Amino acid sequence: MAVRALKKLSTRRGRATLSPAYRAWLVENLLRGAGEAAIRAALAERGVPQEVIAGALAGARGSAELAGARAATAGLRREALAGRLRRALRATSPSIERRALPSPQEFLKSYWATGTPAIFTDVVPRWPAFSRWSPADLRERFGPAEIEMSIGRAADDDPDVRFKEHVRPTTLADYVDRVLAAGETNDLYLIANNRNLARPGLAGLLEDVTLPAGYFDASRSASCGALWFGPAGTVTSLHHDTSNILFFQVVGRKRFRLYPPDQPQLLAAARGVYSTLDPELPSPELAEAFGFDEVLLPGEALFLPVGWWHHVRALDLSISVAFNNFVWPNDFEWYKPG
């Protein structure tokens, strides 16, 4: 195995020694499986005396720290191998399953417990919202309601991370007028962080929604629900959530790009719950990653398991709601590998 490059040699007490950074480099290469001959050659090329190389190798080779690190690394390699097997098996499924909503017991066993996304086709069409909601309807019924919008997003290359900088108060009537005049844009959006479903003026929206029996704690729907409403072109950047979510598409289409939690390329690019990667830009990392590319149609509901990376683009003017107030324990706030 090739070794990583060195940059300098430090001197201490009149005698040439490897600096702490390069001793760490040496141990890292031993853990990675690089041969001692390759390590010696890399050091010698940079003028390190043979006696210094021999002393550094002997010190590392016999250290209790290296033995402990090797034991820990072996465990990580076993976990990585198990993850590779999971990914290989998962890759045999070319698309997300579309089906009628299962019973709560089947959902818990087949999707929740296994962390498997699914699209349910028969929930939203039963709602009053499905035949009723439109920009005009929302404006007529809830126009005076005070809400919070996100605006000025288009000029920001990271508007979801910096969402607080884009928060502005308005009325729903004003927001609807802005959306209808905007055309295709990511400049304005009602997002989960705006917490609009919890606002008193929009309480009537929940009367148009019937959450599946046995799935949700209805007493927490307002505080645990999210309203997404915006023009075609709105984008939610690649991220994962720390809870399971059922996402209901009422008006318009949204394109979801989803990647499993254990994809190494995504974990390496994690920054908090967001990713430095963008599925809409070419990248070797995402070219090698396994994922799903699905268009969620009006009337469909997507189960987003906790930890799954997802990037979302509205293909049309879109109205969606999402809820995480399941009856099962759903707080995974500790899951933040980034």
What pLDDT digit, counting tens, does each position of 63-115 carry?
887 888 888 777 777 776 767 777 777 777 777 999 999 999 999 999 999 99
> In this structure, which long-range contacts are made by residues 165-172, counting pairs with CB atoms below 8 Å and at least 24 apart in sequence?
167/194, 170/146, 171/143, 171/144, 171/145, 171/146, 171/147, 172/138, 172/139, 172/142, 172/143, 172/144, 172/145, 172/147, 172/201, 172/202
313 phi, psi to nearest 5 deg: -130, 130
User: What mean pLDDT value characterizes the chain?
Assistant: 91
Q: State the Cα–Cα distance between residues 329 and 40, nearest whole angstrom.
A: 54
Residue 221 has pLDDT above 60, yes or no: yes
**297-323 confidence digits (pLDDT tens):** 999 999 999 999 999 999 999 999 999
Tokens coding 226: 């999210």
Give the CATH fold of the 100-323 domain.
Answer: Jelly Rolls (2.60.120)
Residue 8 has pLDDT above 80, yes or no: no
User: For position 66, what pLDDT does the model report?
Assistant: 82
> pLDDT class for 13, splitting at 50, 70, 90?
very low
% of the chain beyond a pLDDT of 70: 94
> If you average pLDDT over residues 151-167, what whole number do you get?
96
Largest separation between any pair of C-alpha atoms in the chain: 84
Give the pTM: 0.81
> If you average pLDDT over residues 37-55, what whole number do you get?
87
- For the chain, the structural domain boundaries read 10-61, 100-323
User: For position 75, what pLDDT does the model report?
Assistant: 73
> If you average pLDDT over residues 237-252, what whole number do you get?
98
Residue 326 has pLDDT above 60, yes or no: yes
User: For position 124, what pLDDT does the model report?
Assistant: 98
Residue 194 has pLDDT above 50, yes or no: yes
User: For position 178, what pLDDT does the model report?
Assistant: 98
Across the beta sheet with 245-251, the strand order is 97-99, 118-120, 301-304, 245-251, 318-323, 225-230
User: For position 5, what pLDDT does the model report?
Assistant: 58
User: For position 198, what pLDDT does the model report?
Assistant: 95
User: For position 87, what pLDDT does the model report?
Assistant: 72
**277-288 confidence digits (pLDDT tens):** 999 999 999 998
> If you average pLDDT over residues 162-182, what whole number do you get?
97
User: For position 11, what pLDDT does the model report?
Assistant: 42
User: For position 58, what pLDDT does the model report?
Assistant: 87
User: For position 108, what pLDDT does the model report?
Assistant: 98
> pLDDT class for 60, splitting at 50, 70, 90?
confident
